[in-house]
Amino acid sequence: MLDHVDVGPRSLGAYTHIIGKEVVEEIRELAAPLRGARIAHINATTYGGGVSELLRSIVPLYRGLGIQADWKLISARPEFFNVTKDVHNALQGGSCKLTGAARETYLMYNTRNAQLLDEQYDFIVVHDPQPAAIRHFRGPAGAKWIWRCHIDTSEPNETVLEFLLPFVAEYDALVFTMDAFVPPRLEHQRVVTMTPAIDPLSPKNVGLSEGICQEIRAWRGIDPRQPLVTQVSRFDPWKDPLGVIQVYRMVREEVPGLQLALLSSMASDDPEVWEIYSEIIAATQGDDDIHVLTNLIGVGDMEVCAFQTSSDVVIQKSIREGFGLVVSETMWKGTPVVANRSGGIPIQMEDGAGGFLVDDTEQCAERVLFLLRNREEARKRGLAGRERVRQRFLITRLLADELRLLASLPQEAESPAAPASPTSVAAGSLLVSSD
C-alpha cells in the first residue's frame, strides 16, 4: 500500500470572512454532485515544495465537503530520485541523456508503486513527472486519471519528452499551469490550464503581529534596526540563489548594513539540493549579514511567515518557474516583491501589483534599491499585490477549478472527444466577493 499522509477535514466555512458567503455557497454547490466520491492525490514528498503545500490544504477541504480524498506518497530509493531530478530539469529545458539504466530505474519504481496502489478510487490525480507512469502500470482500474504538471515545460528536452509522452497520453485529463507550458508536440483530447493558489489560513500565511515577527527575526540573528531582503525558495539552480547573493552585494554598496536571508526547505526528493547548499555556504562564508536558514536548523512555516511579512523587499530571482507560490505568499502579506519575469510569476504580478518584474541581475538590484528608498511606493505596491492574490490566487479558487474538472470527466466519457487544443479552467474560476 502506498504511504498515506494523515490529514483531517477542513471546513470551507472557515474562509467565509475572506471570500464571502456567496462564494462559499457556490463552491458547496459545485461539490454536491461529487459527495461520496473517492479521490487520491499522488506525489513524491510531504514537504519542501509547492505541491506538498497545495495538497496539505486542498485535501482537507475536499474532506470537509463530503468527498473522500486521500493523499498518497510514492516510495523509492535515492537512485530513483536522482533520475527524476534529471527528468525534472530536462523538462524545464536542461540537458539529459536519459540512459537505458535511467529509464529502467524510472519504470521499475513506477511499476512497484502502481502495484502498491491497491485501493479503489473514482478519481486519481498524479502530480509531476516522478509518478507519471503509474497510470500505465496500474491500468484504469475504474477511475478517471488526471496528470497535473506543476513545472515549466514550454521548452522541454525532446528526448525526455518523447519518453514521457506515451505515459501521459493515457490520462483522461492533463493540467498545466498556463497555456505556454503545454508542450507543442502534445496531442490530447483534454488539456486544461489551472493556476496554483495559496492557503490564507495555513500556518505560513496566517497573520503575525509586527512584534512576533521581530522576535522571530531576532531569534534567527537578524538585526531589527537594519533593512532586510529575503528569498524563500528551494536551493535549486533554477531559483538562482547565487544571483540573489550578487543582487544583495550590489545593493549593499548603496545601503550599508543591508541584510540578506535565504530560507529553504531541503526536500526529500531533491538530491541536487545538497550541492547547491554547499555552493551557497561557500559563497556566503565570512559575511555575517547573510543568513542561510533551512529546516535543518528548525526553520518552518512560522519563520517563513515572519520573514515574508517583515522583510523590506522579497526577491524571487527564478530563471525558470512553474508558478512560484512564494510570490503570492509574499504579496498576501503586503510585502513588495522583485521577481524575474519567468514562468507563472508575471501572471501573479500583472500591471505592477505586488512589486516589480525584472529581466536581469542589474534590473533586480535597481528595483530593490528603489523600493528600499521609496517606502510609500513599496507600501502601495504591496497592498495592490495583496488584493490581487485575494481575487485570484487563494486555495478556494483552486478548489472550485478542480471540482469543475472532476465533475466534467464522467460526462465527457459519454460525449465526443474534445478538441486537442488547451482550454482554461481558470477562465471560469470563481472570483471572491468584494465584501
Residue ranges of alpha helices (H) inside 220-314 are: 241-252, 273-284, 301-310
Overall residue count recorded for the chain in this entry: 435
Average pLDDT of the segment spanning 144-172: 96
Average pLDDT of the segment spanning 195-205: 96
- Kindly state the cell numbers that stand for 155: 521548452
pLDDT of residue 415: 42
Looking at the structure, do residues 95 and 185 belong to the same domain, yes or no? yes
Looking at the structure, do residues 350 and 399 belong to the same domain, yes or no? no
Average pLDDT of the segment spanning 331-356: 96
Cβ distance 418 to 190 under 8 Å?
Answer: yes
Banded pLDDT at 47 (limits 50, 70, 90)? confident
Cβ distance 332 to 205 under 8 Å?
Answer: yes
Against a cut of 0.75, is the pTM above it? yes
Looking at the structure, do residues 424 and 288 belong to the same domain, yes or no? no
Percent of the chain with pLDDT over 90: 86
Distance CA 71, CA 411 (A): 25
Going by C-beta distance under 8 Å and a sequence separation of 6 or more, which residues neighbour residue 393? 195, 196, 197, 198, 328, 348
Does the residue 433 lie in any domain? no
pLDDT of residue 269: 67
Does the residue 85 lie in any domain? yes
The SS3 of residue 96 is coil
| Tens-digit pLDDT profile for residues 379-392 | 999 999 999 999 99
Looking at the structure, do residues 154 and 188 belong to the same domain, yes or no? yes
Distance CA 273, CA 270 (A): 6
Q: 418 pLDDT exceeds 80?
A: no
Does the residue 353 lie in any domain? yes
Burial of 40 (0-12, 13-18, 19+ CB in 10 A): buried
CA-nearest of 360, 309, 361, 358 to 338 is: 358
Output the CA torsion sign for 42, 45, 47, 49: negative
Average pLDDT of the segment spanning 324-336: 97
Does the residue 321 lie in any domain? yes
Backbone phi and psi for residue 127, each to the nearest 5 degrees, phi listed first: -105, 125
Distance CA 294, CA 291 (A): 10
Q: 429 pLDDT exceeds 60?
A: no
| Tens-digit pLDDT profile for residues 77-102 | 999 999 999 999 999 998 888 999 99
Average pLDDT of the segment spanning 363-373: 98
| One-letter amino acid for residue 419 of the chain | P
Does the residue 161 lie in any domain? yes
* Average pLDDT, rounded, for the chain: 92
Looking at the structure, do residues 298 and 178 belong to the same domain, yes or no? no
Output the CA torsion sign for 184, 188, 107, 148: positive
pLDDT of residue 271: 76
Average pLDDT of the segment spanning 259-271: 85
CATH number at residue 413: 3.40.50.2000
Looking at the structure, do residues 138 and 24 belong to the same domain, yes or no? yes
Does the residue 202 lie in any domain? no
Q: Based on the structure, what is the number of domains in the chain?
A: 2
| Strand residue runs (E) in 98-250 | 123-127, 144-148, 173-176, 191-193, 228-232
pLDDT of residue 173: 98
Looking at the structure, do residues 150 and 94 belong to the same domain, yes or no? yes
Looking at the structure, do residues 238 and 361 belong to the same domain, yes or no? yes
Banded pLDDT at 139 (limits 50, 70, 90)? very high
Output the CA torsion sign for 111, 88, 83, 156: positive
Backbone phi and psi for residue 173, each to the nearest 5 degrees, phi listed first: -155, 150
Looking at the structure, do residues 128 and 218 belong to the same domain, yes or no? no
Looking at the structure, do residues 224 and 189 belong to the same domain, yes or no? no
Residue span of the structural domain in which 23 resides: 3-197+395-428
pLDDT of residue 49: 78
Question: Rounded to 5 degrees, what angle do the CA atoms 171, 1, 66 make?
Answer: 65
- Kindly state the cell numbers that stand for 76: 523509492
Banded pLDDT at 354 (limits 50, 70, 90)? very high
Backbone phi and psi for residue 8, each to the nearest 5 degrees, phi listed first: -95, 180
Distance CA 217, CA 38 (A): 43
Does the residue 434 lie in any domain? no
Q: Rounded to the nearest 10 degrees, what angle do helices 78-91 and 100-116 cross at? A: 110
Strands 3-4 and 68-73: antiparallel
Banded pLDDT at 209 (limits 50, 70, 90)? very high
Going by C-beta distance under 8 Å and a sequence separation of 6 or more, which residues neighbour residue 357? 339, 340, 341, 345, 346, 349
| One-letter amino acid for residue 298 of the chain | G
- Kindly state the cell numbers that stand for 415: 460525449
Looking at the structure, do residues 241 and 329 belong to the same domain, yes or no? yes
Average pLDDT of the segment spanning 204-224: 94
Q: 57 pLDDT exceeds 50?
A: yes
Residue with cell 540578506: 260
Backbone phi and psi for residue 339, each to the nearest 5 degrees, phi listed first: -135, 150
Q: 421 pLDDT exceeds 60?
A: no
pLDDT of residue 273: 85
Residue with cell 474560476: 429
Does the residue 370 lie in any domain? yes
Looking at the structure, do residues 142 and 243 belong to the same domain, yes or no? no
DSSP assignment letter at 199: -
| Tens-digit pLDDT profile for residues 125-136 | 999 999 999 999
